[in-house]
Structure 1
Amino acid sequence: MVCTGKFDLDGYLRRIGWEGESRADPGTLRGVHLAHLRGIPFENLDALRRVAPSLEIGDLVAKLVDGPRGGYCYEHNTLFAAALEALGFGVTRLAARVVVGADRVESRPRTHMALLVEVPGQPGPYLADVGFGAIGALLEPVPLVAGTEFEGAGRRHRLVTVEHPGPLELWVLQAYGEERGGVASDGPWQAQYAFTLEPFEHADFEVVNWHIGTNPRSPFTQRPYVQGVSAERHLLLHGRVLTETRADGAVSERELTDESEARRVLEAEFGIVVPDGTALYG
């Protein structure tokens, strides 16, 4: 799906704080990707009200660009895809299986959205993803090349291909970190999600967005999950626990006392104003 209608690229770039070039080249792709992650938080507050957020571009701009809010993967990557297309990149939407801690790829449904980005004049595409709410997320896009380690903004990633029964090649994004085992893991390299290169359309993500945002068994309808990224730290609010991971690897956490404190933290630390009618803790 190519974004149709008017997209305010300048407003989007102001929101993420990007002051570099606005052209379709690898440097702009890396810079805008990182700026988006640092500029707009990941959050699931609509899903806490069992509301599937709109994926229409006008609504995403109103919420993530003009409003004091963030969003989850479908919102972030739909918005980012529109910005990339406005800049002149080619974008294919992909559906991925999150396999962090899983024993088998097939045990997880395709509930994550990622992007394959074509850069004019470059020999191959890049995997881009500004909507993976985890510390193993990409901060900068990586070329779609198997077996090569890439470092971006202090995080290390690689892509591998693994055997599976389907007809399409299966790619797995791995992040370098603490050894925990799981699918396609190799020592400290931890699998994050698996995907094929089959294109998915806006209608496909509307269906899975409704499921993730409204199903009472969805992890996003159970408790707050909010992430913010800066050059100095990764900050995560999961339920009542606020975890800070510094750039040097130091980790600290504390438990928030009540809803009032959580609302203050969301506004002060993440720049999020909790919408009326949202109960963070049931």
Structure 2
Amino acid sequence: MSTARILIKHGDVRYRLLKVEAASDGSLICLLDKDPQPLKGGIRVETGKLIAEADLEKPVPYGRFSIHTTGEIHRYSGGQRKDTIHIEPLHQLTKAHAVGYFSIPTPERLDTYDASKHTADVVETLEIPTEVSERLTFLLEIGPKALKVATYGIGLSYELYTLVSRSAAARLPEELAASFVEAAALTVFDSRQIQKDEAELRFYQKIYGQGSFVFRENGGAYVALTSVPMARAPTMRVEFDGSELSIETIPFDAQNKPTHKVRFWIRDKGGRNKQHDLREHIRSVVFDARL
């Protein structure tokens, strides 16, 4: 998983605005990069009405969006799922799709950035003039890799798409003047246009070509993808160029056994080898998913 952060520079201070995490299947999690806090005096907007939230003493996270490879997008607030919308699958985006927006009362209400604590693979910064100390609203969009930033903002480019965070206008009721607000965009489709396993396979095949292949995760484990979804969760045999190497399958959760991949460790004479990329020693991979 890779992490990107978008900062706001206001005067001499850099604040954390958004954190974006890219998962191995091509999906994204985009969240307001602010430390969880107890919920006090919260208000939500529901069918055009303002509804008071129950106060919570336990710190709760701020808003976030999960953008899945299938094109399904969930909005979370206070740690709970609130909305779901559907756009084109991420491997075949043809245009910009609005995901939703984050709106903050003033730049100073964000948390400050410390490079030693808030690590990231990519850090981008938006500079806001010092004289601006008012509500800022940022629209999230996702589209093809060539997607341009239409207004002041930043685009994060990935293998097949670009995620844009750009300034936008927002008309909010006076009751929300001091609140952090997020909202999902309107849905394009009524349901998912593709199943999860097929979406992930098509995503990677568009990057690497047709067929099955093996990729390595940051923690040293491996994932082998089939060329098509199989009849049931597959087993796998791997032949290496050296007899000292073998695999140890990592089981998926019993409720979530995918039909298109196997996750595993490669073991050498010292056990699980998490340090070295040993894919060059793989001679063949054979899947079996017979009923």
What is the TM-score of this pair, normalised by structure 1?
0.32
Greater RCO, 1 or 2 (C-alpha within 8 Å, sep 6+): 1
More strand by share: 2
Q: Which has the larger radius of gyration?
A: 2
Higher percent of residues as helix: 1
